[in-house]
A and B are shown apart, each in its own frame.
Chain A
Amino acid sequence: MRRRAFLIGAAGAAACSRRPRLNVYNWSDYVAPDTIANFESETGIEVRYGTYESNQEMLAKVMGGNSGWDIVFPSTEFIQPMLEMGLLAPLRSERLPNLNALEAPFRRPPWDPELRWSVTYMWGVTGIAYQSGLNPHPEAWRDLWDRRLAGKITMLDDPPEVLGACLKMLGYSLNSSHPAELEKAQREAIAQKHLVRAYLNAEARDQLVAGDVAAAQAWAVTAAQAMQAASGKLAFTFPRDGFARFADTMAILRESRRQEAAHRFIDYLLRPAVSARIVMAVQTATANGAAQALLPPELRGNPVLYPSEETLARGEWFEAQSAESQRLRDRLWTEIKSA
C-alpha cells in the first residue's frame, strides 16, 4: 500500500506541488545544521537535500538528464565535462546580487572566467600532516619516501592526488598528460608502496590522532580536524615542491524546472553570514571573501585552512584531463595498486 502511495505521490508531486520545492544535491557534510532550515523558513521553499560521496557518483545520476535534482556541486575539473554533455544551465548574474561577496581570484577563476556556469563554493589544498615530534620535519613530497618512516606513512586513496604528488616531486605539472612524465611518476609511486601503511582519505585523521601514522598525505580539512583533536602533537606543511589545489562549485542543472528558486538558493549560500556559519560548522576554506571577514580569528588565521598568498602561489589547480590522458592515468593507477 505504501508503495502505491509513494508511486501516486511521486507522480502527483511531479505534476503539481503545494509548496514550491527545490532539490539540492551536495557533498556530505558541506552545510551547517541550520543552513537549509533557515532558507526554508525564510523563503517558504521546501528543500529536499541529498548527498553524494564523489563527483562520479553525482555524474552517473545526472547524466541521464532526468534525475530530479536542481542544484549540484561539481568540483572544478568536472565543469568542462558537464558542459560538454549539456548538463548545466547558464547562470544569470543579475539574479545573484551576492556574487560580489566572492573573493577576487574566485570571481574570475581559470575554469569559468565569467562565472557563467558555476559559482565557487569551497576550496582546499593537499599537503603533509605529520607528528610534530618527527625530526627532521617533512618539507617536501620526497620526505614521504623516507625509509625511516616505513609502515607509518599513508597516502590519499585518490589517483590524481598520488600521481600529483609524484609529478610534483619530479618537478612536473600536476596535470601533466605526457606519457613519459606519468610513467616516471608511476615508478615513484610503486617504489614507495612497500613503505606505505595504507591509502587513506579521511580515515587517516583518527590514525594520526592515535599516533599510528607518522606522516600522511592529507587534505587541509582533515589535517585541521586532526590537529584540533590532538592539540599540539600534529603539524601540517605545504610541500616545497608544490601541491594540489581544488575547489567545489555550485551549478544548476539544465533539466531543472525551478531555475528561479535555484538562483535564490545559490544567492543565499553566497550571503557572507550564511557562508561564515557553514565554515564554522564544517571547518573548511570558503571562496567567499566577505564571509572570511566574519570568521573568528582562530579560524581565519588558521594557517592550515587559510595559508598565506606566497604559500598558495606554490599550489596548482587540478584541471580536467583529456580522454586519452585519463585512460593512461587510470591504467597506471591500476598497476600501482596491483604492484
Chain B
Amino acid sequence: MKRLRRLFLAPTAALLAVTMAAPLAIVCLYSLMTRGAYGGVEKPFTFENYTRFWDPIYAAILWRSCWIAAVATALCVVLAFPLALFIARSGSKKNLYLSLVILPFWTSFLIRTYAWMFLLRDTGLINTLLQALGVIHEPLPLLYNNGAVILGLVYGFLPFMVLPLYATLERMDPSLAEASADLGARPLQTLWRVTLPLCAPGVRAGSLLVFVPCLGTYLTSDLLGGSKTILIGNLVQNQFTTARDWPFGAAASLALMAVAMGLLLAARRQGEEML
C-alpha cells in the first residue's frame, strides 16, 4: 500500500520540487536582498522590503483586493451553482454542455476582455441598445470602475467554479433529494438542507480556485478598471516590470501568498481538506 502511494506521489513531488519549491526559495531569497541598479538583485541583505510594507497605503491595497476577490467569488458560486446543477442533471448531453462552458475560454483572455470593453464602453453595445430602447438618456458609466473589474473576474473564473461543482453534483444520489421531498420538504428546503451541504467540497474547491487567482489578478483590473486602481496583483506586477524592484515585489508577493494561505487554512474543516 505504501509503495503504491509513494509511486503515485513521486512524479508530482518531483515536479513540485522543481517548479515550486526551488523557485519559491529564490523568491524568499530575493525578498531579503536589495534591488539592483537596473533590475535584478544585489548582495546587501536587508529586511527593508518587509518594513516598507507597514505603510498604510499597502494595507489599503490588500484590503481592496480581498474585498473585490471575495465579491467575485461569491458571485461565481451563486451563478455557477444552477448551471452546474443543470449540467449534472442533463443526462447524456453532460459532456457537451460542459464543453460549451469551457469553449469560450479556449480563446485568448485578452481578446475576450477587449470584447467586454467594447460592450461596456460609453459608446458600446449595451449603452447604445439601452439608449435606443429609451431606457436611459445618458450613457451609463459601465467601464473603468470596480463593478467592471468584478464582472470581468466573474466572467473569467466562472468555469473554475462550474467544473468542481459539477464534479461533485454529478455523483450526488438523486434519491436523497427525493427522500427529502417525500418527507415533506419544499424544493427550496431540499436545496438548502440536502443538496448544498452535499456538494460543499465542490463549493470549497471552486472557491479556492477562484478566490486566490482573483486576489492576484492584475490584467483584469488594468484593462477593465482603467488601470486606475492598484490591487495587490498590480503592485507585484509593477515591481517586477516597470518599477524594477524585484526584492520588494518578492516581499509583496510573499505577503499576498501569506494572506491566501491564511484564508485557506482558516476555511479548512477537519478531514475536509481541499488538497
List chain A positions with a Cβ less than 8 A from chain B: 54, 56-57, 59-60, 63, 78, 81-82, 84-85, 151, 157-159, 193, 196-200, 203, 207, 210-212, 322-323, 326-327, 330, 333-335, 337-338
Contact = CB atoms under 8 A, between A and B. Distances in A.
Interface in B162-190: none
21 contacts: A54-B241, A56-B39, A60-B240, A81-B37, A81-B38, A84-B37, A84-B38, A159-B242, A159-B243, A197-B226, A198-B143, A199-B226, A323-B35, A323-B37, A323-B38, A326-B244, A327-B245, A330-B239, A330-B242, A334-B57, A337-B234
Contact of A200 (B40, B57, B227, B240): B227
Contacts of B117: 203
B228 A334 contact: no
Contacts of A198: 143-144, 225-228
Interface string B229-243: 110001100111111
Interface in B48-81: 57, 60-61
A137 B25 CA distance: 55
B37 A334 contact: no
| Candidate in B123, B223, B235, B244 with the most chain A CB atoms within 10 angstroms | B244
A323 B36 CA distance: 8
A38 B257 CA distance: 49
A338 B61 CA distance: 7
Contacts of A210: 121, 123
Given A323-B35, A323-B37, A327-B35, A337 B144 contact: no
A31 B244 CA distance: 28
Closest 6 CB pairs of A and B: A198-B226, A81-B38, A330-B243, A199-B227, A337-B230, A323-B37
Is chain B's binding surface mostly helix, strand, loop or mixed?
loop
Contacts of A56: 39, 240-242, 244
A54 B244 CA distance: 12
Contacts of B57: 334-335, 338
Contacts of A200: 226-227
Contact of B40 (A54, A63, A207, A326): A63
Nearest to B122: A212
A231 B220 CA distance: 32
Contacts of B239: 330
Interface string B122-142: 110000000000000000010
Contacts of B226: 196-200
B14 to A, nearest CB: 16
| Candidate in A57, A159, A203 with the most chain B CB atoms within 10 angstroms | A203
B39 A334 contact: no
B236 to A, nearest CB: 11
Given A54-B241, A335-B57, 13 more contacts: A54-B242, A57-B241, A60-B39, A78-B38, A84-B37, A198-B143, A198-B227, A203-B223, A210-B123, A322-B37, A327-B245, A330-B242, A334-B57
A158 B222 CA distance: 12
